[in-house]
Amino acid sequence: MPKPIYSPHLSNMMPKLITRPYGHETEFGKSGNVAGINQWARNSRIVGFLMLIFGWFTIPFEVIFRRDFGQRWFTVMHFCAGIVLIIIVSTLQFTWVSITNFLQEVFSWLGPFNIFEKDHASILSDRNSDEAIGILFMLYWFMGMYHLFKIRWRNQANVPLHSFDDGTSRLLWFGKINKWFINVSYIPVTAIYWLCLPYRQRKGTKIPKVITDTGAFTNTVIEPMVVFMIAFEFSGVFRVWLFLSSFALFITAQLKEMTRHNKMLDFQDSKIEAQIMREHRAMQVEQQAPKSKTMDKTKKTEIAPTAPPVKHPPLNQIIEQWQKERQPEIQTDVLPALTSKDEVPRSSEAPRTYIVQPVPVTANAFSKMVRDVIEWFKRL
Protein backbone atom coordinates (compact mmCIF):
# COMPACT_ATOMS: atom_id res chain seq x y z
CA MET A 1 0.00 0.00 0.00
CA PRO A 2 1.45 3.38 -0.94
CA LYS A 3 2.01 6.21 1.44
CA PRO A 4 -1.12 7.76 2.96
CA ILE A 5 -2.10 11.27 2.05
CA TYR A 6 -3.40 13.75 4.56
CA SER A 7 -6.68 15.21 3.37
CA PRO A 8 -9.58 16.89 5.19
CA HIS A 9 -12.90 15.08 4.98
CA LEU A 10 -16.06 16.98 4.13
CA SER A 11 -18.02 15.64 7.07
CA ASN A 12 -18.08 16.87 10.66
CA MET A 13 -15.48 14.30 11.64
CA MET A 14 -11.85 14.99 12.32
CA PRO A 15 -9.48 15.03 9.32
CA LYS A 16 -8.15 11.62 8.41
CA LEU A 17 -5.33 10.12 6.42
CA ILE A 18 -6.31 8.73 3.03
CA THR A 19 -4.60 5.55 1.84
CA ARG A 20 -4.30 4.44 -1.74
CA PRO A 21 -5.23 0.86 -2.74
CA TYR A 22 -2.66 -1.85 -2.13
CA GLY A 23 -0.09 -2.44 -4.87
CA HIS A 24 2.79 -4.91 -4.82
CA GLU A 25 5.15 -2.66 -6.77
CA THR A 26 4.68 0.43 -4.60
CA GLU A 27 7.05 1.70 -1.93
CA PHE A 28 6.17 1.91 1.74
CA GLY A 29 6.89 4.64 4.23
CA LYS A 30 9.96 4.45 6.45
CA SER A 31 7.93 3.00 9.32
CA GLY A 32 6.38 0.34 7.09
CA ASN A 33 9.75 -0.69 5.71
CA VAL A 34 11.10 -1.66 9.12
CA ALA A 35 9.00 -4.66 10.00
CA GLY A 36 5.46 -6.01 10.11
CA ILE A 37 2.92 -7.14 7.56
CA ASN A 38 3.91 -4.40 5.12
CA GLN A 39 7.39 -5.81 4.71
CA TRP A 40 6.00 -9.32 4.49
CA ALA A 41 3.42 -8.36 1.88
CA ARG A 42 5.94 -6.40 -0.13
CA ASN A 43 8.27 -9.39 -0.49
CA SER A 44 5.52 -12.00 -1.08
CA ARG A 45 3.47 -12.22 -4.27
CA ILE A 46 1.14 -14.73 -2.63
CA VAL A 47 0.23 -12.21 0.07
CA GLY A 48 -0.27 -9.54 -2.57
CA PHE A 49 -2.63 -11.85 -4.46
CA LEU A 50 -4.54 -12.64 -1.26
CA MET A 51 -4.90 -8.94 -0.48
CA LEU A 52 -6.31 -8.43 -3.97
CA ILE A 53 -8.86 -11.21 -3.39
CA PHE A 54 -9.75 -9.83 0.05
CA GLY A 55 -10.27 -6.39 -1.44
CA TRP A 56 -12.61 -7.93 -4.02
CA PHE A 57 -14.62 -9.60 -1.24
CA THR A 58 -15.05 -6.32 0.63
CA ILE A 59 -16.57 -4.34 -2.28
CA PRO A 60 -20.27 -5.22 -1.75
CA PHE A 61 -20.23 -4.56 1.99
CA GLU A 62 -18.20 -1.36 1.73
CA VAL A 63 -20.75 -0.06 -0.79
CA ILE A 64 -23.63 -0.88 1.56
CA PHE A 65 -22.03 0.14 4.87
CA ARG A 66 -20.25 3.35 3.78
CA ARG A 67 -20.84 6.69 2.07
CA ASP A 68 -18.82 9.47 0.39
CA PHE A 69 -16.37 7.46 -1.70
CA GLY A 70 -13.52 9.00 -3.63
CA GLN A 71 -13.62 9.02 -7.40
CA ARG A 72 -10.64 6.69 -7.81
CA TRP A 73 -11.58 4.46 -4.90
CA PHE A 74 -15.00 3.43 -6.18
CA THR A 75 -15.07 3.33 -9.97
CA VAL A 76 -17.34 1.70 -12.53
CA MET A 77 -14.94 -1.25 -12.66
CA HIS A 78 -15.28 -1.74 -8.91
CA PHE A 79 -19.03 -1.59 -9.23
CA CYS A 80 -19.02 -4.21 -11.99
CA ALA A 81 -16.61 -6.39 -9.97
CA GLY A 82 -19.05 -6.40 -7.06
CA ILE A 83 -21.90 -7.43 -9.36
CA VAL A 84 -19.82 -10.26 -10.79
CA LEU A 85 -18.94 -11.43 -7.27
CA ILE A 86 -22.58 -11.53 -6.16
CA ILE A 87 -23.56 -13.41 -9.32
CA ILE A 88 -20.82 -15.98 -8.72
CA VAL A 89 -21.89 -16.44 -5.10
CA SER A 90 -25.56 -16.83 -6.09
CA THR A 91 -24.61 -19.35 -8.78
CA LEU A 92 -22.54 -21.38 -6.34
CA GLN A 93 -25.33 -21.22 -3.78
CA PHE A 94 -27.90 -22.49 -6.31
CA THR A 95 -25.49 -25.24 -7.39
CA TRP A 96 -24.88 -26.28 -3.78
CA VAL A 97 -28.59 -26.49 -2.98
CA SER A 98 -29.29 -28.44 -6.16
CA ILE A 99 -26.52 -30.95 -5.47
CA THR A 100 -27.56 -31.49 -1.84
CA ASN A 101 -31.22 -32.00 -2.88
CA PHE A 102 -30.16 -34.47 -5.54
CA LEU A 103 -28.00 -36.44 -3.12
CA GLN A 104 -30.85 -36.47 -0.61
CA GLU A 105 -33.16 -38.07 -3.17
CA VAL A 106 -30.52 -40.55 -4.35
CA PHE A 107 -29.68 -41.80 -0.87
CA SER A 108 -33.18 -41.59 0.50
CA TRP A 109 -33.40 -45.40 0.60
CA LEU A 110 -30.84 -45.36 3.45
CA GLY A 111 -33.49 -43.96 5.73
CA PRO A 112 -32.12 -42.70 9.04
CA PHE A 113 -28.55 -43.41 7.86
CA ASN A 114 -28.80 -40.89 5.05
CA ILE A 115 -26.20 -38.20 5.81
CA PHE A 116 -27.67 -35.93 3.14
CA GLU A 117 -31.07 -35.85 4.76
CA LYS A 118 -32.21 -32.29 5.51
CA ASP A 119 -34.41 -31.24 8.35
CA HIS A 120 -36.92 -28.44 8.23
CA ALA A 121 -34.43 -25.89 9.62
CA SER A 122 -31.89 -26.66 6.90
CA ILE A 123 -34.48 -26.35 4.16
CA LEU A 124 -35.68 -23.02 5.60
CA SER A 125 -32.08 -21.78 5.88
CA ASP A 126 -31.40 -22.60 2.21
CA ARG A 127 -34.54 -20.75 1.21
CA ASN A 128 -33.58 -17.74 3.31
CA SER A 129 -30.10 -17.75 1.77
CA ASP A 130 -31.53 -17.58 -1.74
CA GLU A 131 -33.80 -14.72 -0.77
CA ALA A 132 -30.99 -12.89 1.03
CA ILE A 133 -28.75 -13.07 -2.03
CA GLY A 134 -31.50 -11.50 -4.14
CA ILE A 135 -32.06 -8.72 -1.59
CA LEU A 136 -28.29 -8.13 -1.33
CA PHE A 137 -28.00 -7.88 -5.11
CA MET A 138 -30.80 -5.29 -5.39
CA LEU A 139 -29.43 -3.30 -2.45
CA TYR A 140 -25.93 -3.33 -3.89
CA TRP A 141 -27.22 -2.23 -7.30
CA PHE A 142 -29.16 0.70 -5.83
CA MET A 143 -26.39 1.86 -3.47
CA GLY A 144 -23.65 1.46 -6.09
CA MET A 145 -25.56 3.52 -8.65
CA TYR A 146 -26.18 6.13 -5.95
CA HIS A 147 -22.45 6.36 -5.15
CA LEU A 148 -21.55 6.71 -8.84
CA PHE A 149 -24.21 9.40 -9.27
CA LYS A 150 -22.93 11.27 -6.20
CA ILE A 151 -19.36 11.17 -7.49
CA ARG A 152 -20.49 12.60 -10.84
CA TRP A 153 -22.59 15.25 -9.09
CA ARG A 154 -19.65 16.20 -6.85
CA ASN A 155 -17.44 16.75 -9.89
CA GLN A 156 -19.97 18.96 -11.65
CA ALA A 157 -20.92 20.89 -8.50
CA ASN A 158 -17.23 21.51 -7.67
CA VAL A 159 -17.43 19.84 -4.25
CA PRO A 160 -13.89 18.49 -3.73
CA LEU A 161 -13.18 15.18 -2.02
CA HIS A 162 -10.01 13.14 -1.98
CA SER A 163 -10.11 10.72 -4.90
CA PHE A 164 -8.78 7.81 -2.78
CA ASP A 165 -11.17 8.34 0.14
CA ASP A 166 -12.48 4.91 1.22
CA GLY A 167 -15.70 6.36 2.58
CA THR A 168 -17.26 6.98 5.98
CA SER A 169 -19.09 4.18 7.74
CA ARG A 170 -22.83 4.45 8.30
CA LEU A 171 -22.41 2.48 11.53
CA LEU A 172 -20.54 5.24 13.35
CA TRP A 173 -23.43 5.66 15.78
CA PHE A 174 -23.13 1.99 16.73
CA GLY A 175 -19.37 2.37 17.03
CA LYS A 176 -19.75 5.38 19.35
CA ILE A 177 -22.05 3.42 21.65
CA ASN A 178 -19.66 0.48 21.87
CA LYS A 179 -16.66 2.77 22.27
CA TRP A 180 -18.29 4.57 25.20
CA PHE A 181 -19.24 1.28 26.85
CA ILE A 182 -15.72 -0.17 26.48
CA ASN A 183 -14.01 3.01 27.74
CA VAL A 184 -16.27 3.18 30.79
CA SER A 185 -15.72 -0.52 31.52
CA TYR A 186 -11.94 -0.15 31.46
CA ILE A 187 -11.75 3.00 33.62
CA PRO A 188 -10.78 1.07 36.81
CA VAL A 189 -7.96 -0.74 35.02
CA THR A 190 -6.60 2.32 33.25
CA ALA A 191 -6.90 4.38 36.43
CA ILE A 192 -4.71 1.91 38.35
CA TYR A 193 -1.99 2.01 35.69
CA TRP A 194 -2.31 5.80 35.47
CA LEU A 195 -1.73 6.13 39.21
CA CYS A 196 1.41 3.99 38.89
CA LEU A 197 2.99 6.69 36.76
CA PRO A 198 5.30 9.23 38.46
CA TYR A 199 3.43 12.23 39.77
CA ARG A 200 5.46 14.69 37.71
CA GLN A 201 4.59 12.83 34.51
CA ARG A 202 0.87 12.40 35.14
CA LYS A 203 0.41 15.91 36.56
CA GLY A 204 -1.97 17.87 34.34
CA THR A 205 -3.03 14.80 32.31
CA LYS A 206 -6.20 12.74 32.24
CA ILE A 207 -6.82 9.02 32.47
CA PRO A 208 -6.22 7.65 28.96
CA LYS A 209 -9.00 5.99 26.99
CA VAL A 210 -8.81 2.53 25.49
CA ILE A 211 -10.46 3.61 22.21
CA THR A 212 -10.02 7.13 20.87
CA ASP A 213 -10.68 6.90 17.11
CA THR A 214 -14.34 6.10 16.42
CA GLY A 215 -13.85 5.73 12.67
CA ALA A 216 -10.98 3.26 13.00
CA PHE A 217 -12.84 1.26 15.64
CA THR A 218 -15.94 1.06 13.43
CA ASN A 219 -14.00 0.01 10.33
CA THR A 220 -11.83 -2.60 12.04
CA VAL A 221 -14.27 -4.09 14.57
CA ILE A 222 -17.92 -3.12 14.10
CA GLU A 223 -18.31 -3.74 10.35
CA PRO A 224 -16.56 -7.15 10.36
CA MET A 225 -18.47 -8.16 13.50
CA VAL A 226 -21.84 -7.29 11.93
CA VAL A 227 -21.10 -9.36 8.80
CA PHE A 228 -19.79 -12.21 10.95
CA MET A 229 -22.96 -12.30 13.08
CA ILE A 230 -25.22 -12.19 10.01
CA ALA A 231 -23.43 -15.24 8.56
CA PHE A 232 -24.86 -17.51 11.26
CA GLU A 233 -28.39 -16.91 9.98
CA PHE A 234 -27.72 -18.52 6.60
CA SER A 235 -26.25 -21.71 5.20
CA GLY A 236 -24.34 -23.11 2.27
CA VAL A 237 -22.03 -21.10 0.09
CA PHE A 238 -23.63 -17.83 1.16
CA ARG A 239 -22.61 -18.45 4.77
CA VAL A 240 -19.04 -19.27 3.76
CA TRP A 241 -18.89 -16.13 1.65
CA LEU A 242 -20.10 -13.99 4.57
CA PHE A 243 -17.45 -15.48 6.86
CA LEU A 244 -14.75 -14.80 4.28
CA SER A 245 -16.06 -11.27 3.73
CA SER A 246 -15.96 -10.49 7.45
CA PHE A 247 -12.38 -11.74 7.63
CA ALA A 248 -11.48 -9.72 4.51
CA LEU A 249 -13.04 -6.58 6.00
CA PHE A 250 -11.04 -7.06 9.18
CA ILE A 251 -7.71 -7.64 7.38
CA THR A 252 -8.03 -4.76 4.91
CA ALA A 253 -9.22 -2.34 7.59
CA GLN A 254 -6.37 -3.33 9.90
CA LEU A 255 -3.86 -2.82 7.08
CA LYS A 256 -5.21 0.64 6.24
CA GLU A 257 -5.33 1.76 9.86
CA MET A 258 -1.83 0.42 10.47
CA THR A 259 -0.56 2.40 7.48
CA ARG A 260 -2.27 5.54 8.75
CA HIS A 261 -0.84 5.00 12.21
CA ASN A 262 2.64 4.50 10.77
CA LYS A 263 2.28 7.73 8.83
CA MET A 264 1.30 9.59 11.98
CA LEU A 265 4.34 8.11 13.72
CA ASP A 266 6.47 9.33 10.82
CA PHE A 267 5.09 12.85 11.34
CA GLN A 268 5.80 12.63 15.06
CA ASP A 269 9.34 11.31 14.52
CA SER A 270 10.05 14.05 11.97
CA LYS A 271 8.90 16.68 14.46
CA ILE A 272 11.11 15.25 17.22
CA GLU A 273 14.10 14.99 14.87
CA ALA A 274 13.60 18.59 13.74
CA GLN A 275 13.49 19.76 17.36
CA ILE A 276 16.68 17.83 18.17
CA MET A 277 18.47 19.31 15.15
CA ARG A 278 17.30 22.81 16.13
CA GLU A 279 18.68 22.40 19.65
CA HIS A 280 21.92 20.95 18.30
CA ARG A 281 22.31 23.87 15.92
CA ALA A 282 21.68 26.35 18.74
CA MET A 283 24.39 24.67 20.83
CA GLN A 284 26.85 24.93 17.95
CA VAL A 285 26.11 28.63 17.54
CA GLU A 286 26.64 29.23 21.26
CA GLN A 287 29.97 27.37 21.18
CA GLN A 288 31.21 29.32 18.17
CA ALA A 289 30.14 32.72 19.53
CA PRO A 290 33.08 33.18 22.05
CA LYS A 291 35.62 32.24 19.38
CA SER A 292 34.29 34.86 17.01
CA LYS A 293 34.49 37.50 19.76
CA THR A 294 38.17 36.73 20.50
CA MET A 295 39.00 36.82 16.80
CA ASP A 296 37.39 40.23 16.53
CA LYS A 297 39.46 41.48 19.46
CA THR A 298 42.72 40.28 17.87
CA LYS A 299 41.77 41.88 14.59
CA LYS A 300 41.09 45.19 16.33
CA THR A 301 44.58 45.23 17.91
CA GLU A 302 46.24 44.60 14.57
CA ILE A 303 44.51 47.52 12.85
CA ALA A 304 46.50 50.78 13.04
CA PRO A 305 44.75 53.81 14.54
CA THR A 306 43.41 56.16 11.95
CA ALA A 307 43.68 59.99 12.03
CA PRO A 308 40.67 61.86 13.32
CA PRO A 309 38.46 63.27 10.55
CA VAL A 310 38.98 66.94 9.62
CA LYS A 311 35.95 69.11 10.22
CA HIS A 312 35.64 71.88 7.63
CA PRO A 313 33.76 75.06 8.55
CA PRO A 314 30.51 75.61 6.71
CA LEU A 315 30.34 77.98 3.72
CA ASN A 316 28.23 80.58 5.55
CA GLN A 317 30.90 80.94 8.23
CA ILE A 318 33.59 81.49 5.57
CA ILE A 319 31.51 84.21 3.89
CA GLU A 320 30.84 85.97 7.21
CA GLN A 321 34.53 85.90 8.05
CA TRP A 322 35.34 87.36 4.64
CA GLN A 323 32.79 90.16 5.18
CA LYS A 324 34.39 91.03 8.54
CA GLU A 325 37.77 91.31 6.84
CA ARG A 326 36.28 93.56 4.17
CA GLN A 327 34.52 95.90 6.64
CA PRO A 328 37.40 98.53 6.92
CA GLU A 329 37.69 98.84 3.13
CA ILE A 330 33.96 99.48 2.84
CA GLN A 331 34.08 102.23 5.49
CA THR A 332 37.00 103.96 3.72
CA ASP A 333 35.07 103.91 0.46
CA VAL A 334 31.89 105.31 2.03
CA LEU A 335 33.39 108.19 4.03
CA PRO A 336 34.57 110.22 1.02
CA ALA A 337 31.13 110.03 -0.43
CA LEU A 338 29.59 111.41 2.73
CA THR A 339 31.95 114.39 2.89
CA SER A 340 31.89 115.21 -0.83
CA LYS A 341 28.85 117.57 -0.50
CA ASP A 342 28.46 120.74 1.55
CA GLU A 343 27.24 120.08 5.03
CA VAL A 344 24.34 122.04 6.44
CA PRO A 345 25.04 123.83 9.76
CA ARG A 346 23.80 122.07 12.80
CA SER A 347 22.18 125.20 14.14
CA SER A 348 19.65 125.32 11.30
CA GLU A 349 16.35 123.56 11.55
CA ALA A 350 16.77 121.68 8.29
CA PRO A 351 17.67 118.07 8.84
CA ARG A 352 21.04 116.76 7.82
CA THR A 353 21.06 114.65 4.67
CA TYR A 354 23.66 112.16 3.50
CA ILE A 355 24.19 110.86 -0.02
CA VAL A 356 25.40 107.26 -0.03
CA GLN A 357 26.95 106.10 -3.27
CA PRO A 358 27.25 102.38 -4.19
CA VAL A 359 30.59 100.94 -3.24
CA PRO A 360 32.37 99.43 -6.18
CA VAL A 361 33.88 96.01 -5.62
CA THR A 362 37.48 96.03 -6.56
CA ALA A 363 39.19 93.27 -8.53
CA ASN A 364 41.43 92.37 -5.61
CA ALA A 365 38.53 91.85 -3.24
CA PHE A 366 36.57 89.73 -5.76
CA SER A 367 39.56 87.54 -6.54
CA LYS A 368 40.18 86.98 -2.84
CA MET A 369 36.57 85.88 -2.33
CA VAL A 370 36.82 83.43 -5.23
CA ARG A 371 40.04 81.99 -3.82
CA ASP A 372 38.45 81.49 -0.41
CA VAL A 373 35.47 79.65 -1.91
CA ILE A 374 37.71 77.42 -4.02
CA GLU A 375 39.85 76.65 -0.98
CA TRP A 376 36.72 75.69 0.97
CA PHE A 377 35.64 73.26 -1.75
CA LYS A 378 39.12 71.71 -1.81
CA ARG A 379 38.92 71.03 1.89
CA LEU A 380 35.74 69.04 1.36
Q: Which long-range contacts (CB under 8 A, 24 or more apart) does 307-316 make?
A: 310/379, 312/376, 312/379, 312/380, 313/376, 315/373, 315/376
- Give the residues across from 123 on adjacent strands: none
For residues 13, 17, 21, 24, the Cα torsion angle rounded to the nearest 10 degrees is -160
Contact present, 176 and 214 (Cβ < 8 Å): yes
What is the mean pLDDT, run by run of 10 residues, along the chain of 380 residues?
43 52 44 44 63 83 91 89 92 85 69 61 72 91 94 90 87 93 92 90 88 90 94 87 92 85 85 88 79 53 55 68 63 46 46 48 65 74
SS3 content of the chain, % helix, strand, coil (to 5): 65, 5, 30
- For residue 20, what pLDDT is reported? 54
Q: Are 45 and 24 in contact (CB under 8 A)?
A: yes
- Note the pLDDT of residue 51: 73
Residue 83 confidence (pLDDT): 93
pLDDT at 122: 66
DSSP, res 70: -
State residue 218's pLDDT score. Answer: 93
Q: In whole angstroms, what separates CA 258 from the centre of its chain?
A: 19
Distance between CA atoms of residues 84 and 90, nearest Å: 10
Pairing of strands 66-67, 168-169: antiparallel
Q: What is the DSSP letter of 23?
A: -
Q: Report pTM.
A: 0.60
pLDDT at 313: 65
Residue 143: per-residue pLDDT: 94
The span from the CA of 71 to the CA of 18, in Å, is 13
At residue 114, the 3 state secondary structure works out as coil
pLDDT of amino acid 53:
79
Structural domain spans, the chain: 5-170+215-278, 312-336+355-380
Residue 242 has a pLDDT of: 92
